[in-house]
Amino acid sequence: MAPYELRPIPAAETRYLRHVVLRPHQRPEELIYPGDDAPDTVHFGLYVEDEQHGVASLYREPRPGTKSTTEWRLRGMAVLASNQGRGYGAALLQACIDHAARQGGTRLWCNARTTASGFYKRLGFAAEGAEFELPGIGPHYLMWRPL
């Protein structure tokens, strides 16, 4: 893994990789997620030689059907395809875990693409419920891990 810098970034700086990696079929305004600018939300960017290679966003948000104030949602995690498998995703995820834990979080959850579920399982996540379809995006699992 090449040396990298991981730092908090504004929401707007997540959108290029959200588009290229996760949602190439969507218009730019569809890449603005609810809560992107909420006071508790944090966005991380991973940079190699000042070029962005990965992003992840973290929201204080309970899982569907719950009202917990100590759960955090991981969303919009993306690493350039040419750099996947190099540990950058794990570094981004660890930054999110650390941040949520420092804020008193008890659980981190996400809607993980089925194709990425193995990555999340290797990093301590468990699937909850059956696979489901996010319209226009594809099959997902709700996954979570304790903090």
- Cα end-to-end distance, the chain, whole Å: 26
User: What average pLDDT does range 36-40 have in this prediction?
Assistant: 96
For residues 129 and 142, the answer to whether their CB atoms sit within 8 Å is: yes
User: What average pLDDT does range 46-57 have in this prediction?
Assistant: 95
| Structure confidence at residue 101 (pLDDT) | 97
| Structure confidence at residue 24 (pLDDT) | 83
CA–CA gap between residue 65 and residue 135 (Å, rounded): 20
CA atoms within 13 A on the CB side of 35: 15
For the chain, the structural domain boundaries read: 5-109
Phi/psi at 89 (5° precision) = -60, -40
Instruction: Locate 33 and state its tokens.
Output: 């997620």
**Helix residue spans in the chain (DSSP H):** 15-17, 88-102, 117-122
Q: Give the residue from 91, 85, 11, 102 showing the smallest Cα distance to 47.
A: 91
CATH number of 5-109: 3.40.630.30
For residues 14 and 76, the answer to whether their CB atoms sit within 8 Å is: yes
CA–CA gap between residue 11 and residue 84 (Å, rounded): 22
Work out the pLDDT band at 29, boundaries 50, 70, 90. Answer: confident
User: What average pLDDT does range 117-128 have in this prediction?
Assistant: 96
Instruction: Share the mean pLDDT of the chain.
Output: 94
Bridge pairing between strands 71-79 and 42-48: unpaired
Amino acid of residue 120: Y
| Structure confidence at residue 137 (pLDDT) | 85
Amino acid of residue 16: Y
